[in-house]
Amino acid sequence: MSSYLRNIKDTCVTVFEGLAVTFSHFVRRPSTVQYPDRTALRVQDTLPFRYRGILEVDLEICTGCLACERACPIDCIVIDVTKDQETKEMVMTRFDIDMAKCMYCGLCSEPCPTGAIHHTPEFEGADYSLESLVRRFVKDPVKTYKPKKGPEPDPHVAVLLERGLRYVDEFAAPETKKPTGTKAA
Amino acid sequence: LNILQYAADLLVRSLFKADPASWPYTWIAYAVVIGVAAFIAFAFVAIFAGPVSWIERRIAGRIQSRIGPNRTGPQGILQWLADGIKCWLKEDLVPASADKPLFLAAPYLVFTGMFGAFVVLPFGAHVVAADLNVGLLYLLAITSLVVVGVLMAGWASNNKWSLMGGIRAAAQIVSYEIPAGLSVMPIVLITGTLSIQGVIARQGWAPTDWFLFNNPFTFVAFFTFFTAALAEGNRTPFDLPEADTELVAGYVTEYTGVRYLMFFFAEWGNLYVIGALVTTLFLGGWQIPPLTSNPVLTAILQFLTFFVKSYFWALVAMWIRATLPRVRVDQLMAICWKYLVPIAFVNLLGAAAWVALVPAGSRVVQYAMTALGAALILLFMQRVAFHLRRARVRERGDIYLSPLV
């Protein structure tokens, strides 16, 4: 009998309390992010620097070392580098990343000496064909980047390089903070 | 004076220049007026049940820190139309092994069971289809028609989930009719009438004159009645017949398109019936303070009063739905037979004793019960404030009272 009455009391008290809890939620701000069109900022702009989105390559600072191609466990990166017979300079004729194969492991951007290959916060990759997911970065053959002694003279490249090295620092080995500037520049 | 009779008599007098009492075709005028009234009531249910589906989703969303539908039209207000049109455009599938006539008829029976309640549900002192002298009995009886429809749907679908859902629904509705009936009885004891308008006429506009606060027994009867009404209307936490985690969709599993819509039309219409019943029996119905002698204005005010009170209880049902988890089948039956029925029965005995001892009622008790109700509301607000404080909502600027998102 006492448990019977206790059940009735518990039911009344818990329902009362439960309704109070849900009512307190009723007057709170909803936490829904209304992606994609009703956000204060683009969602891409709110993501952290180290977010592993779609890969991108800054050809201006790519040394053509093929470290990323070798690191890729599923061979989604293909790079062709040849030596220009006239100028004796290394020229990249192809830098393709198949984003349909890419599994966003980040192993390619870890060994990159300049941070040329890096993940972007972009994640919207929907497209109408698999073929168009292959990102071809080299339109015309480009010369590979050679690390300079001293500061980078070209201001445009300097900005990219600074960003790339910061990326490598934070991405590849954020635990063991190596002093910047030892690899290049 | 009944508004339908008045309208029919007026029609005969003005259009045919005949005396309605002696004219042989008066019944035709009556039939026309009843048809029009049925159409108006149908439109009322449709206009209630449609948007309420959107409002329910918005409220449940806000309670769960979500937004709910807000894309179709301004703030998603046209979502119900979009859903309805979508259902109309769907193919009306009948499973090959289903019992076709029963399968096709079941949704309409469920809907009729709900819609039949509108015969006696008042919208004002004179605005009611029929003030039956057995109104309450009629209401309890006609809403049981839903059981037949639900069982038919479950059986005719020839699907084990549907059948289980149908049988659960039937068991549930039949069981919960007993506490519902027993909770209505204290009111009948006080008023001595089964007429809905009679019950409302015995109450006043002030909360102290409501039957909710009439004496401790009607106060308890209110809670048992509301719980039983929720269970009869298949509302959460008693929505076992449609328990989607275990029964797919219960007895509506095999339904598509318009027939599927009819079930939900009936469910949301039933929400209004629950609210209207609670309002009628316990909250003074359409009673308003004597503000105006203009009959049209009075009718409008009475309708608004009744509608707002009914809608409030529909909102409470949504709120409960967003709060309480679904009970198990055995718990469902235990709540009914081991708790609600004995409580309602003891309560009925108490109410009978009360009516025998204090036939005229006691003003002191009415004021005391109203004070108790006010104290409960204050306690509730204090608990809400406690939960808001504990979550440090104000410091984080998370109070958001606007319904627009």
Q: Closest residue of B to A32, CA-based? A: B66
In a mutagenesis test of the A interface, which of B319, B320, B372, B384 is the best target, namely the one with the most A β-carbons within 10 Å? B384
A16 reaches B (C-beta below 8 A):
yes
Q: Supply the DSSP symbol for B51.
A: H
Q: What share of chain B is helix, strand, coil (3-state, %, to 5)?
A: 70, 0, 30
Question: What is the reported pTM?
Answer: 0.81
Spatial contact of B168 and B160, defined as CB atoms under 8 Å apart: no
| Residue of chain A nearest B59, judged by CA positions | A26
The closest of B338, B137, B187 to A8, measured between CA atoms, is: B338
Q: Where are the beta strands (DSSP E) in chain A?
A: 55-57, 77-83, 90-98, 117-119, 134-136, 142-143
Interchain contact A3–B (C-beta under 8 A): no
State the complex-level ipTM.
0.82
Of B338, B339, B400, the CB nearest to A27: B400
- At residue A62, the 3 state secondary structure works out as coil
- Mutation for testing the A interface, residue in B388, B392, B394, B396 having most A CBs under 10 Å: B388
Contact yes or no for B323 and A21 at CB 8 A: yes
Please, what's the largest Cα pairwise distance for chain A?
Answer: 101
Query: Tokens 């979550």 label which residue?
Result: B391
pLDDT at res. B244:
66
Question: Are residues B398 and A28, on separate chains, in Cβ contact within 8 Å?
Answer: yes
What's the gap in Å between the CA of A15 and the closest CA on chain B? 8
Cβ atoms of A54 and B91 within 8 Å: the answer is no
Of B319, B388, B405, the CB nearest to A24: B388
Determine contact, residues A58/A160, Cβ cutoff 8 Å.
yes
pLDDT value at A107 more than 80? yes
Provide block-wise average pLDDT over 10 residues at a time, chain B (405 residues): 75 77 76 84 84 88 88 86 88 84 88 87 80 86 86 86 84 88 90 88 86 88 91 80 70 84 85 90 86 84 90 91 86 90 93 89 88 93 90 78 77
Contacts of B343 in chain A (CB under 8 A): 8
pLDDT cut 90: percent of chain A above it: 19
Q: Which residues contact B92 (CB under 8 A, 6 or more apart)?
A: B256, B257, B258, B259
**Residues A53-66: what's their mean pLDDT?**
89
Task: Give me the pLDDT at residue A178, please.
Answer: 52
pLDDT of residue A171 exceeding 80, the answer is: no
* The dihedral formed by the CA atoms of B289, B292, B295 and B296, expressed in degrees to the nearest 10: -100
Report helix angle B363-390 to B216-232, nearest 10.
Answer: 60
Using N-to-C axis directions, what is the helix angle for B160-191 and B257-282, rounded to 10°? 20
Inform me whether the pLDDT recorded for A185 exceeds 50: no
Per the listing, tokens 């699907």 go with: B159
- Inspect the interface and report whether the beta carbons of A28 and B400 lie closer than 8 Å: yes
Is any Cβ of chain B less than 8 angstroms from the Cβ of A7?
Answer: yes
> Taking all residues of chain A, what is their mean pLDDT, rounded to a whole number?
85
The H or E element containing residue B219 is: helix B216-232
CB contact under 8 A, A21 and B324: no
Please tell me the predicted confidence (pLDDT) of residue A175: 61
Q: Identify which of A17, A19, A28 has the shortest CB distance to residue B319.
A: A19
Number of other residues whose CB lies within 10 A of the CB of residue A74:
11
Q: Stretch A154-183: mean pLDDT, rounded?
A: 74
- pLDDT at position A84: 83
